[in-house]
Amino acid sequence: MTGAIDTRAGFAAVIGAPNAGKSTLVNRLVGSKVSIVTQKVQTTRFPVRGVAMEGRSQIVLVDTPGVFSPRRRLDRAMVRAAWNGAEDADAVVHLVDARAEMAAEDGEAKGADRLAVEDTRTVIEGLKKAGLHAILAVNKIDGVKRERLLAITKALFDSGAYNEAFMISATKGDGVGHLKTRLAALMPEGPFLYPEDQLADVPARLLASELTREKLYLRVHDELPYAAHVETTAYTMKKDGSARIEQTIFVERESQKGIVVGAGGQTLKWIGQASREELTEILGHPVHLFLHVQVRETWAEERGAFEGLGLDFDV
Ligand SMILES: Nc1nc2c(ncn2[C@@H]2O[C@H](COP(=O)(O)OP(=O)(O)OP(=O)(O)O)[C@@H](O)[C@H]2O)c(=O)[nH]1
Ligand SMILES: [Mg+2]
């Protein structure tokens, strides 16, 4: 062979309404946890890159924040970041929650489902406006009847925003293999963009902050609507091969601080322990984690918080 390229590599962005399962899908395609998942909407705040290999194809998956009607500055920056991810990609996967669509068809969509359906329409309009042809991936098909699923998929497909459709369950894995094979074929010919054994492109400090934010949401999601931010303030490797990590959890109100700390410090202790355990597993060495909680009413309006996440403050 004289210089023939036998590898493919490129970017595949996963976009969709909040809570559609984008991060779950990216983690499954990569085969490892690269992006945090919670039952809360607007979990992902900045594009997270995970690297999946399929034969001689490298798919750099870009998990993006959910697309919704932005209100606050952080919302606007998140939605902008999602679209930037899609516009720069070689393939775009639009993930849609089948259960929310089904509830809407039945006239039963309330609260989060109703918002998800509206946000899905916003994404479809955005795709058309940007002239992007996306792959439709209808997610959460576990437990949905086949004929319902086909009807939902057809209705979405008829919007004209897509050139193909898949039906998948990101948690169970159904259909994900087919989607991966297709994405691999869509990657342009060229050398790999990351070493073959690299799974994620997230700095360790940021990964550490994200894991703590995930545990925080998992533990106190009802009481803490949206209002927390985690910053890694110190990260040092010690001679014995362990890491010493210090983090501050910023909340917007004194009452939220009480919730995060919990009675006798129990809640904060649980969060720290859960985050440390997973970090230890992912990093492959022991971690000493120290958490602090601080009230800073204005964290969501401060430039520093955005820059730490690679988000644009001025949108
Ligand atoms: N039943 C079912 N639940 C799923 C599936 N995929 C994801 N979920 C659940 O949906 C919730 C949201 O998943 P995420 O992966 O965080 O969703 P996301 O689209 O990244 O959400 P944002 O980052 O907030 O935009 C979690 O509770 C997941 O476990 C699926 O295939 N089936
Ligand atoms: Mg997410």
Residue 2: predicted pLDDT: 52
Model pLDDT for residues 31-55, shown as the tens digit of each residue? 999 999 988 888 998 899 999 999 9
Per-residue pLDDT averaged across 282-294, rounded? 95
Per DSSP, the chain holds a count of helices (H) and strands (E) of 10, 10
Residue 251: predicted pLDDT: 92
Residue 256: CB within 6 Å of ligand 1?
Answer: no
Q: Tokens at residue 149, please? A: 């699923």
Model pLDDT for residues 249-264, shown as the tens digit of each residue? 999 999 999 999 999 9
Q: Tokens at residue 146, please? A: 């086949």
- Indicate if the pLDDT at residue 170 is higher than 60: yes
CATH fold of 203-308 reads GMP Synthetase; Chain A, domain 3 (3.30.300)
Residue 110: predicted pLDDT: 83
- Indicate if the pLDDT at residue 87 is higher than 70: yes
Domain spans of the chain, in order of start: 8-186, 203-308
- How far does residue 306's CA lie from ligand 2's centre (Å)? 17
Residue 171: CB within 6 Å of ligand 1?
Answer: yes
Q: Which atom of ligand 1 is nearest to the CA of 40?
A: 24
- How far does residue 117's CA lie from ligand 2's centre (Å)? 17
- Indicate if the pLDDT at residue 100 is higher than 90: yes
- Tell me the one-letter amino acid at 301: E
Per-residue pLDDT averaged across 79-106, rounded? 94
Q: CB under 8 Å to 178, separation ≥6 — which residues?
A: 166
Q: Which atom of ligand 1 is nearest to the CA of 18?
A: 25
- How far does residue 238's CA lie from ligand 2's centre (Å)? 32
By the 8 A CB rule, do 197 and 48 touch?
no
- Residue nearest to ligand 1 atom 24, measured at CA: 42
- How far does residue 2's CA lie from ligand 2's centre (Å)? 43
- Residue 97 forms beta bridges with which residues? 139
- Indicate if the pLDDT at residue 288 is higher than 80: yes
By the 8 A CB rule, do 212 and 247 touch?
yes
Q: Choose which residue among 26, 33, 36, 37 to substitute to test ligand 1 binding: the one with the highest number of ligand atoms within 8 A of its C-beta.
A: 37
Residue 139: CB within 6 Å of ligand 1?
Answer: yes
DSSP 188-241: PBS--SS-TT--EE--HHHHHHHHHHHHHHHHHTTT--S--EEEEEEEEE-TTS
- Residue 93 forms beta bridges with which residues? 14, 135
Q: Which atom of ligand 1 is nearest to the CA of 17?
A: 25
Residue 10: CB within 6 Å of ligand 1?
Answer: no
- Residue nearest to ligand 1 atom 9, measured at CA: 21
Nearest to 53 by CA among 253, 218, 167, 196: 196
Q: Which atom of ligand 1 is nearest to the CA of 143?
A: 1
- How far does residue 308's CA lie from ligand 1's centre (Å)? 25
- pLDDT-based confidence at 108, cuts 50/70/90? confident
What integer best gives the mean pLDDT of the chain? 92
Higher pLDDT pick, 18 / 224? 18
Q: What CATH code would you report for 8-186?
A: 3.40.50.300
Nearest to 11 by CA among 153, 133, 184: 184
- How far does residue 22's CA lie from ligand 1's centre (Å)? 6
Q: How far apart are CA 158 and CA 82, in angstroms?
A: 24
- pLDDT-based confidence at 3, cuts 50/70/90? low
Residue 47: CB within 6 Å of ligand 1?
Answer: no
By the 8 A CB rule, do 97 and 20 touch?
yes
Per-residue pLDDT averaged across 68-84, rounded? 89
Q: CB under 8 Å to 236, separation ≥6 — which residues?
A: 243, 244
Of 107-116, 156-165, 169-178, 189-198, give the lowest mean pLDDT range: 107-116
| pLDDT above 90 as % of the chain | 73
In which residue are the tokens 């010493």 written? 244
- Indicate if the pLDDT at residue 80 is higher than 80: yes
